[in-house]
Structure formats: C-alpha cells, structure tokens
C-alpha cells in the first residue's frame, strides 16, 4: 500500500526480542513482538491501533520512534527514510521532536522533583521553540490553559495532581515541542470513564487547533474507535486488518475484529447482539505457529488456516484483511 502522500509510512517493520537461553546449546528463540508490519498514516487523520494486551502495539510504536532498534524494515516520515539515521544525528533529533509519544502513565515520565512548568519549558528551550526562559514560561502557561489547567499549575509538583490532570500535563509537554504526529499509547486507559471522555474530547479539539495527526493505541475498541478515522487491528505481532471506521461493521471484517466489535458495550435499550466470546488467552509470541496467528482461537477456522498464513487482501476499497475467508481463489474451490 505505498502512499507517497503519507506523513508516516511503515514498511515490513519487525522487532524480535531474543529469549534468554536456559541451556548452553539451546537454539536461540525470539519473541516475535512485531512482524512484517506495513501501513501508512495520512496527515490530519487519526489512525487507531487496537489489539489485546501483548499483541505488539507498544513495541510497534517504540520501534517506529526509534526508542528501540528495529530488527528489520523501514520507516519513512514525510517521504524521508528515518530508519537509517544514526542515533543522535541532528536531522534525527529534529524529526524526532515532530513525533511525540503520550504514555498511559505520564507520572512515570515526570520528574517528581521538578516543577511542572520547568518540566515543560525546558525541552521547549532545548528544542528552540522559545528563545528565552521568559518566552518559554509564557508559552507554557498558555498551553496549560489550552488543555484546561490553570496557569498557576506552573509552580506545582507532579504528585499534586489527579490522573486526568497528569494526562493533561503529559499532553502539554508533548505539545510544547510543536509536534506534527502524536502517538498516544493507552493514553486514557488508566482514567475513570467520565475523565476518559473529557480527555478524548480534548485530543479531538487539539487535533484541529494544532493540525495534529494521531496514532491512537489502545486495547479497548470502544475507546479507540471513538476517536479514529481508520483502525488497524493487531494480533500476536501481525496486522490482521486495516479498515475505515464505517467498514468496522461490514460483513467482511476479520473474525478477530468481529469478536472485538461484539464486545463493545451498547446502551441497555439497544437490541441484544450476539457476543462472540474468544476462548483462552493470546498465545505466546515466542516462535509463533505457522498458518494464521489467530487460528487457534478463531470460531471460523478452516483446515488451511493452521497450514498457510493468509495474505493481506483488499476486500473493499481501503479495507484490508488477512483472512482465508476472503481469499477469492479458495472460495472458488470450496
Ligand atoms: P501491547 O502493547 O500490545 O500490549 P507489547 O508491545 O507490550 O504489546 O508486547 C508485545 C510482545 O513483546 C509481548 O509478548 C511482550 O511480552 C514482548 N515484549 C515487549 N517488550 C519486550 C522486551 N523489552 N523484551 C522482551 N519481550 C518484550
Ligand atoms: Mg502496550
């Protein structure tokens, strides 16, 4: 799916972690955390990435942002290959500031001894977003107001804030260096439902105000779909589906996605739908089986599914699925 217009393009990206050996001559095995992942993100859109815990979402984001080295594959930002840069390269630094990550728990990344204002204005100065300390302070106070915090927050310390407030501070810190692309990794997962909605709405309004593009990662499809234009579904390190928001309810979705969709809570007045319960947990990503990664838990599995891995196919315009159910050749044989 090469797309020259894309803001971000990921091609055949893989990340394997070696597993510690227990015996001297044991063959080296690897956690296939991310395997052969390709997709692109267009400027101005929100791409959701969803999948159960352990499906490789965070590793994918970390590998794209070069927080961990890739095993193979390439990443292009604005058409420029960024996987080749040496760490610390000036150009890499410049591009890295355009891509920011917001984590589940911003508290873990805030220095408890540093005032909120300093934690935000210092990277601003270091990145050249402000030319003086006074200017950095002024911009920081403005940004705090934009996310709904009082400017006095500047002189407070991280422990003085609730989860929702800390997440707003994390957002300001990312915004401070003027990013174009924001990776939000489980950014609202730890928040209470009512606060979750407020922060999601904040993400939406900031998107327009600052011309942002989001990659919004989460394990909960009901949250991810709320904010996403397109959705990428991961399972055990692989992309199973890339779909537009509307196609999520089409008949041609991956059985795994169907199960995720069926788990979305609905208002109690809505007609009851059939909930698809997946048996068992996500299997180990160490030496994953041949065939489809999902076949052991799939309620539509066919004999070939455990033998041959399905290709990614475009089943409707802009809707890609990795499933033998939608293989035209095999459908003819059946
Ligand atoms: P998700 O974010 O979807 O929950 P992760 O990317 O955290 O998934 O993990 C994907 C897989 O990679 C898991 O099997 C996890 O145990 C493994 N993994 C993640 N980080 C490491 C690491 N640093 N070393 C070894 N294995 C890892
Ligand atoms: Mg994760």
CA of 302 to the centre of ligand 2 (A): 30
For residues 241 and 320, what is the distance between their CA atoms, to the nearest angstrom? 5
Per the structure block, which two tokens stand in for 324? 């033998």
- The 8-class DSSP code of residue 290 comes to S
Q: Which residues contact 147 (CB under 8 A, 6 or more apart)?
A: 168, 171, 172, 175, 202, 206
Dump pLDDT digits (tens) for 235-252.
Answer: 999 999 999 998 998 889
Say yes or no: CB of residue 154 within 6 Å of ligand 1.
no
pLDDT digits (tens, 9 = 90+) for 49-61: 999 999 999 999 9
Dihedral angle sign, alpha carbons of residues 270, 272, 276, 280:
positive
CA proximity to 255, closest of 306, 297, 311 = 297
- 330 or 171, greater pLDDT: 171
The Å distance, Cα 239 to ligand 1 centre, comes to 15
Query: Looking at ligand 1, which residue's alpha carbon is closest to its atom 12?
Result: 33
Pair 73, 46: CB distance under 8 Å:
no
Would you say the C-alpha torsion 16, 37, 60, 256 has a positive or negative sign?
negative
Nearest CA to ligand 1 atom 22: 17
Beta bridge partners of 243: 231
* Average pLDDT in the chain: 90
> How would DSSP label each residue in 19-33?
PPPSSTTPPP-EEEE
Q: How many residues does the chain have?
A: 334
pTM exceeds 0.75: yes
Residue whose CA is closest, atom 5 of ligand 1? 56
Concatenated DSSP letters of 246-285: GGGGSTTS-HHHHHHHHTS---TTSPP----PPPS----S
Task: Compute the distance between CA of residue 307 and CA of residue 16 in angstroms, rounded to an integer.
Answer: 22
Give mean pLDDT, residues 152-176: 92
- What ligand has the least distance to the C-alpha of 234? 1
Q: Which of 33, 50, 53, 287 to mutate to test the pocket of ligand 1 (most atoms within 8 A of CB)?
A: 33
pLDDT higher than threshold 70 for residue 88: no
3-state DSSP assignment of residue 38: strand
pLDDT at 91 over 80: no
Residue 184 scores a pLDDT above 90:
yes
pLDDT single digits (tens) 288-299: 878 999 999 999
- Highest mean predicted confidence (pLDDT) among 3-17, 23-37, 39-53, 89-103: 39-53
What local confidence, expressed as pLDDT, does residue 1 receive? Answer: 47
Q: Could you read off the pLDDT of 124-157 as tens digits, one per residue?
A: 998 888 999 999 999 999 999 999 999 899 999 9
């Amino acid at each position: 799916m090469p797309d020259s217009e894309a803001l971000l393009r990921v091609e055949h990206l893989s990340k394997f972690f070696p597993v510690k050996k227990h015996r001297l001559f044991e063959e080296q095995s690897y956690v296939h955390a991310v395997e052969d992942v390709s997709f692109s993100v267009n400027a101005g859109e929100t791409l959701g990435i969803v999948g159960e815990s352990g499906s490789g979402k965070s590793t994918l984001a970390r590998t794209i942002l070069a927080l961990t080295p890739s095993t193979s594959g390439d990443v292009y930002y604005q058409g420029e290959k960024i996987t080749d840069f040496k760490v610390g390269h000036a150009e890499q630094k410049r591009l890295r500031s355009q891509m920011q990550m917001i984590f589940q728990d911003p508290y873990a990344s805030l220095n408890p001894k540093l005032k909120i204002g300093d934690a935000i204005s210092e990277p601003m100065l270091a990145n050249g977003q402000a030319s003086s300390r006074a200017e950095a302070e002024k911009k920081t106070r403005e940004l705090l107001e934009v996310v709904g915090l009082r400017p006095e927050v500047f002189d407070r310390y991280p422990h003085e804030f609730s989860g929702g407030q800390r997440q707003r501070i994390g957002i300001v810190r990312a915004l401070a260096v003027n990013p174009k692309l924001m990776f939000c990794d489980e950014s609202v997962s730890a928040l209470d439902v009512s606060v979750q909605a407020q922060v999601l709405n904040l993400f939406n309004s900031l998107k327009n105000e600052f011309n942002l593009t989001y990659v919004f990662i989460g394990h909960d499809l009901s949250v991810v779909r709320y904010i996403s234009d397109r959705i990428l579904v991961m399972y055990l390190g692989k992309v199973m589906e890339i779909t537009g928001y509307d196609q999520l309810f089409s008949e041609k979705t991956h059985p795994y996605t169907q199960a995720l969709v069926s788990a979305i809570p609905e208002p109690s007045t809505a007609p009851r739908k059939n909930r698809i319960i997946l048996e068992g947990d996500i299997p180990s990503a160490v030496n994953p089986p041949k065939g489809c990664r999902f076949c052991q838990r799939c309620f539509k599995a066919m004999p070939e599914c455990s033998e041959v891995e399905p290709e990614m196919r475009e089943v409707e315009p802009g809707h890609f699925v990795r499933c033998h159910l939608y293989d035209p050749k095999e459908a003819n044989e059946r």
